[in-house]
Amino acid sequence: MSNQASDDTVKHRVTDDDVISPSSPSRWRVVVVVCAIVLALGMVAGAGLWMTAAITVAAVIAIGNWVAAEWSRGVVAVRLDLPEEGRDIEVVIGSRVPVTVNITNQGRLPVAWVLAEDLMPRGAARGAQQSQGSLFDPRQTPLPIEGDRLAVMALMPGQTKAIQYSVRCVRRGYFQIGPMVLETGDPVGMFRRYRLGARPMYITVLPKIQLLSTYEIGSRRPIGEIKIRASSMTDPTRLRGIREWQIGDPLRSVHWAATARTGTLHSKVYEPSSVAGATLVLDLHVETNPDRHEPLRTDLTITTAASIAAALHDAGEPFGLATNGRDAADRIRTEGFRGDHRVRDASVKAAGLKNKNDRLRPVLVDVDRGPVQLKEVVRTLARLERTDGLTLAEFLVETESRLSSETTLLVMLQQATEADIGALVGLSRRGWAIAVIINTLDLDRYSRIAGPLLAEKIHVSHLKDEDSIMDVCRAQMAR
């Protein structure tokens, strides 16, 4: 999967069609019908007071409806400092992103009141006062707000007022800021108008990357960069020494120069080596990534994967990504900003995530080298979310034909079912190079998962916390 999921994200454009009808259109119609009945009765009975009251109420309704419509059409919102069309703002954890939205009255009438609110995803921001403590505490709300994103203001013709606040990016992720919802109405409160003002902006918060001093998980493919203890095949490019010829040594391994010099057959001795590349396989299914461990354990998985990708990039090795998780950019592209915006509460709910994340299409980044590949992998990791779609076993069956056989499948998981372990063992028996990183604090759970894998000579590492990232890939593999 390429990064086009982010570039193709549907951005909301404000048009005249965004002016929304009143929230209760039947209410004023009832009032009009009542006024008409009162006016008719007054004409029949000759009651001038009734007629005056009916005409006055009808005039108030008509003027209120016209004023509300004019105010709604005249007020516009413009978001400043947006990136180029089709691009997101990319920042690192701990960054502050300033947000400025100008509210302007472009109409001919003074606007007595307009309520402007910049929407945020549910649970993404609850105010800076709830985010005290460590800047990088993953239990914090991911986007604490510093400033006010909601204001009620009065605007004279041509006047502009700004809503300014900043978003502090505490955790990695992909977040939608906005759109701006504008609410206004007539002075007596009979009519209300809602419209979407400034289009949304999108922020990608990149995960942290730990510097790995070594990476020594190799594949079963020879002629590589990592020396290993044993292998069924040796690397003919890595000469370790010579020894006397023994029965069974192939003819191509004879060291003819030493044989001619000593008069006795000698054979070359090679070092076994392996390719260090990896395809990072992340299990992000909700059943094996339970809520009680979130977002701590998932973010630890993402940080580990990004750190390994950076280490492979620095070593000039190939790497890729495969996961059953959901790309948040793809979610927003397919779902958009949907909802009934005639009610402001419904607009706020539309900014949140769906409860069911039933993504069935895997997220794949093909194996490659270079800084462009690293940027794409890290950006994709930043946007990943858990899903109710494919389990790890189903995902491996679905994608086996699309995974690179030249690299190690480095599988990262929190928990594993019997089907998941069976799928990993099956891949290993079919010749795939498999290594597993178990992300858990529970030593008993680690032992239960690692036992069947170690019995099949699958390399297993224990990822307990961020400090263990440095050690998780240092173990030399014996093939």
Q: Are 155 and 182 in contact (CB under 8 A)?
A: no
The more confident residue out of 96 and 127 is 96
Cα–Cα dist 140/167, whole Å = 13
What mean pLDDT is reported for the chain?
77
pLDDT in the model for residue 100: 93
Q: How far apart are the first and last CA of the chain?
A: 32
Res. 115: pLDDT tops 70:
yes
Mean pLDDT, residues 42-53 taken together: 65
Res. 9: pLDDT tops 50:
no
What's the maximum distance between 2 C-alpha atoms anywhere in the chain? 137
> At residue 93, what are phi and psi to the nearest 5 degrees?
-60, 135
pLDDT in the model for residue 125: 57
Q: What percent of the chain has pLDDT over 70?
A: 69
CATH superfamily placement of domain 278-325+362-470: von Willebrand factor, type A domain (3.40.50.410)
Res. 103: pLDDT tops 60:
yes
Q: What percent of the chain has pLDDT over 90?
A: 31
Q: Residues with Cβ < 8 Å from 3, sequence gap 6 or more? A: 376, 379, 380
Annotate the chain with three-state secondary structure: CCCHHHHCCCCCCCCHHHEECCCCHHHHHHHHHHHHHHHHHHHHHCCHHHHHHHHHHHHHHHHHHHHHHHHHHHEEEEECCCCCCCCCEEEECCCEEEEEEEEEECCCCCEEEEEEEECCCCCCCCCHHHCCCCCCCCCCCCCCEEECCEEEEEECCCCEEEEEEEEECCCCEEEEECCEEEEEECCCCCCEEEEECCCCEEEEEECCCCCCCCCCCCCCCCCCCEECCCCCCCCCCCEEEEEECCCCCCHHHECHHHHHHHCCCEEEEECCEECCCEEEEECCECCCCCHHHCCHHHHHHHHHHHHHHHHHHHCCCCEEEEECCEEHHHHHHHHCCCCCCCCHHHHHHHCCCCCCCCCCCCEEEEEECCHHHHHHHHHHHHHEECECCCCHHHHHHHHHHHCCCCCEEEEEECCCCHHHHHHHHHHHHCCCCEEEEEECCCHHHHHHHHHHHHHCCCEEEEECCHHHHHCCCCCCCCC
The more confident residue out of 51 and 316 is 316
Q: Residues with Cβ < 8 Å from 157, sequence gap 6 or more? A: 74, 105, 107, 108, 109, 110
pLDDT in the model for residue 98: 93
CA atoms within a 13 Å half-sphere pointing along the CA-CB vector of 430: 11
Mean pLDDT, residues 395-417 taken together: 90
What is the residue extent of each domain of the chain? 4-22+72-206, 240-270, 278-325+362-470
The pLDDT-based confidence of 405 (bands split at 50, 70, 90) is confident
The token pair at 275 is 């390719």
Top mean pLDDT of 41-50, 213-222, 288-297, 392-401 is at: 392-401
Mean pLDDT, residues 157-165 taken together: 93
Mean pLDDT, residues 432-450 taken together: 91
pLDDT in the model for residue 99: 92
Task: Tell me the pairing of strands 408-413 and 434-439.
Answer: parallel
Mean pLDDT, residues 304-326 taken together: 90
How confident is the model over 169-216, as pLDDT tens digits? 988 999 888 888 899 988 877 778 888 888 888 899 999 988 775 555
Strand partners, 266: 244
Nearest to 421 by CA among 393, 442, 444, 401: 393
pLDDT in the model for residue 293: 82
Helix 371-383, helix 296-314: angle, nearest 10? 180
Q: Which residues of 121-159 are buried (b: 16+ CB within 10 A; e: fewer)?
A: beebbeeeeebeeeeeebebbbbbbeeebebebebeeee
CATH number of 4-22+72-206: 2.60.40.10
Cα–Cα dist 334/343, whole Å = 23
Res. 434: pLDDT tops 70:
yes
pLDDT in the model for residue 414: 94
Res. 23: pLDDT tops 50:
no
pLDDT in the model for residue 321: 95
How confident is the model over 240-297, as pLDDT tens digits? 678 888 887 777 778 888 888 888 888 887 665 455 678 999 999 999 999 888 888 9
The more confident residue out of 14 and 147 is 147
The token pair at 329 is 């950019």
pLDDT in the model for residue 230: 43
